[in-house]
Structures are given as C-alpha cells and as structure tokens.
C-alpha cells in the first residue's frame, strides 16, 4: 500500500470499517445512517488517497482485498485513538447504550439517571433485543454498553468485555388471562409442571435467557417451548404470543401485553442477575455517569439485596463473587 502524505478524514475510515465488517454497502450505509451513494463516494475517496483498491465489488458480493485486510487493524486503532482524544477534551461522540427492549425497566432507569448526572454528554438508547447479539456489537465498536445476563455469554465473548452487577431481577411468568394459574397472585415454579413456557428458544440474539430458563426448569417437569416465528419489535412479539397462547418466562417489570397477566414466580423466587456490560478499554466521558447511575440506583432501590431466599445459577453467583 503506497504511503500518503495527505491527512485522512476519520469519516473515511469509519466508512471503510463499516463496509469491511458488513461486506455489504447497503447494510453499512444503514448502520452509519448515511445514503449508500455517499458511503460509496467516501470509500472511493479513501482508495484514491491511499492509492490502493480496498474492496473487490461484484453484483453478488463485496470482499476485502489484501490491502483492505491490512488496513482494518490500522483503521480501528486510529479511530480508537481519535475517540480517546476527543473524550479527554469533552468532545466525544454519543455514548450508545443498548436497553435490549423499549419496555424493560432496569436499563432505562439507569440511562435516565446517567443523563441527569451528565447532561453535558449525549447518551443515546439503542434496542438490540438480547445481550448475546449486543455483545458482538460491543466488541465491534458499534455499541458502547448494554444490559443483561453476563454469565450467559459465551466465554469467548466475555473475554473481551467487562461488567458491573446492577440488579437481581425477580422472574415472572406471563399467562393468558384464561389460564388456570392466572387466578393466583404468585405462581410457584413447580405449578408450571407439564407446561411449555416460551423463553426465546431459537432466537440467536437471546440464548443467555433460554439457558437460564432451562436451568430453572430442570427437574421440575417444565419444558422450554419450541421456537416460535422470530418476531422483531414488541408489536410482532405480542401478536405471535397472542396466537400461540403460550406462557412466557419474563421478569416482574415486563411490560403488559394484551389479554395476559404477569405473575411473580415463587417457591423459590428465581433471580435474573442483570449487569451493565461494556467492551474492555472503553473511553468516553459519559460512561462514568452510567456506572455511577448503576451504583446510585442499586443502593436506593436495593437492587442487589436479596431479601428472601431464592434461586440463581451457580455460574452467576461465581461471576458475582469474582467481581467483588
């Protein structure tokens, strides 16, 4: 790759990395919120400035050339250095915080408190519907932080991430309003024996939740419901669940769904340990406010206090002990 004496606009490097990671110009443009034509112009400009072809483009696919492969680690380091420099002088880009789903409470409350603590910084919400998927986005630099069950991630993903425990969320079951157990104020876990309960089986974004359900139901005669059609968005999820009338494993703050009731699970109370998760080495002036918000809310609301004896997988407790 010939050397260049010109300044390279970081925007061009971001365009290059987006295409290099997606290997698809349309998806890369969507990710960057730019028009595809503008993205293509930026990539061509970068190729001219470097004097090298970075991609092989055909009507069917986009692949990196040898020079393109060689540029990837340099581009990532250059952009990371720029982010660190801007953060050091209070000129950072928005901090992108994944809340998993618009209706879930814990992450949203943390984000709102962080915005109050650091109004001078932009903290923007994203909704990626599962920590496993979000973890890949964190490692790729497309997200900065997320919330979920850290212990349920593949160890390969965990190796590049850090976490801070936020809350023991009591788990619940969402029942069709005509279900016999809907008459109870709280549902003993063993009362679900013989039931098939939906817990995201088959959803590649949420295997950490399905694994938690399998551990909870093991030896209790409760089945994890088979995969349902993959629904994107609350409206589609509610429509699919309304058709199947299948009980859904959830948390007590799960948003209300039409023609259903949400009942806490008891005997024992199962806990889902929610953590704030971020990639190692993250530098952003708004991130300190996010971590401070976790501490404040955990203390104020007793989120990390387990006032009653409950159930939690051993791996989650081990990671919690290791954190402290």
Domains located in the chain, CATH noted = 10-88 (1.10.10.10), 95-167+271-323 (3.40.190.10), 171-269 (3.40.190.10)
Q: How many whole angstroms separate alpha carbon 310 and alpha carbon 50?
A: 60
Q: How many whole angstroms separate alpha carbon 98 and alpha carbon 274?
A: 13
Rg (CA), the chain: 23
Q: How many whole angstroms separate alpha carbon 90 and alpha carbon 285?
A: 7
The predicted model scores a pTM of 0.73
Ramachandran sector of residue 148 (left: φ over 0; alpha: ψ -120 to 50; beta: rest): left
Least Cα distance to 260 among 169, 179, 171 occurs for 179
The reported pLDDT for the residue numbered 155 is 92
Do residues 123 and 255 touch, judged by C-beta distance below 8 A?
Answer: no
Confidence tier at 262 by pLDDT (50, 70, 90): very high
159-204 pLDDT tens trace = 999 999 999 999 999 998 889 999 999 999 999 999 999 898 888 8
């Amino acid at each position: 790759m010939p050397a260049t004496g010109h300044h390279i606009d970081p925007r061009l490097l971001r365009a290059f990395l987006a295409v290099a990671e997606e290997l698809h110009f349309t998806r890369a443009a969507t990710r960057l919120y730019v028009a595809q034509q503008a993205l293509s112009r930026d990539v061509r400009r970068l190729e001219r400035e470097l004097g090298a072809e970075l991609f092989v483009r055909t009507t069917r696919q986009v692949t990196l050339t040898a020079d393109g492969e060689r540029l990837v680690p340099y581009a990532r380091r250059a952009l990371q250095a720029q982010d660190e420099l801007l953060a050091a002088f209070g000129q950072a880009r928005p901090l992108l915080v994944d809340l998993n789903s618009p209706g879930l409470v814990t992450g949203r409350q943390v984000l709102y408190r962080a915005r109050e603590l650091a109004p001078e910084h932009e903290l923007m919400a994203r909704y990626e519907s599962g920590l496993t998927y979000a973890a890949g986005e964190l490692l790729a630099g497309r997200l900065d932080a997320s919330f979920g069950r850290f212990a349920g991630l593949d160890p390969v993903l965990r190796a590049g991430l850090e976490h801070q425990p936020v809350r023991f969320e009591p788990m619940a079951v969402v029942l069709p309003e005509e279900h016999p157990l809907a008459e109870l104020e709280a549902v003993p876990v063993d009362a679900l024996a013989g039931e098939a309960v939906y817990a995201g089986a088959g959803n590649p974004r949420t295997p950490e939740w399905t694994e938690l359900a399998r551990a909870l139901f093991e030896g209790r005669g409760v089945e994890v419901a088979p995969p349902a059609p993959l629904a994107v968005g609350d409206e589609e999820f509610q429509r699919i669940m309304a058709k199947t009338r299948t009980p859904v494993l959830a948390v007590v703050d799960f948003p209300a769904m039409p023609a259903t009731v949400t009942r806490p699970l008891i005997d024992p109370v199962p806990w889902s340990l929610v953590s704030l998760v971020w990639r190692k080495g993250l530098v952003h002036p708004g991130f300190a406010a996010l971590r401070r918000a976790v501490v404040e809310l955990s203390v104020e609301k007793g989120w990390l206090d387990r006032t009653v004896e409950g159930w939690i997988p051993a791996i989650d407790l081990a990671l919690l002990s290791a954190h402290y």
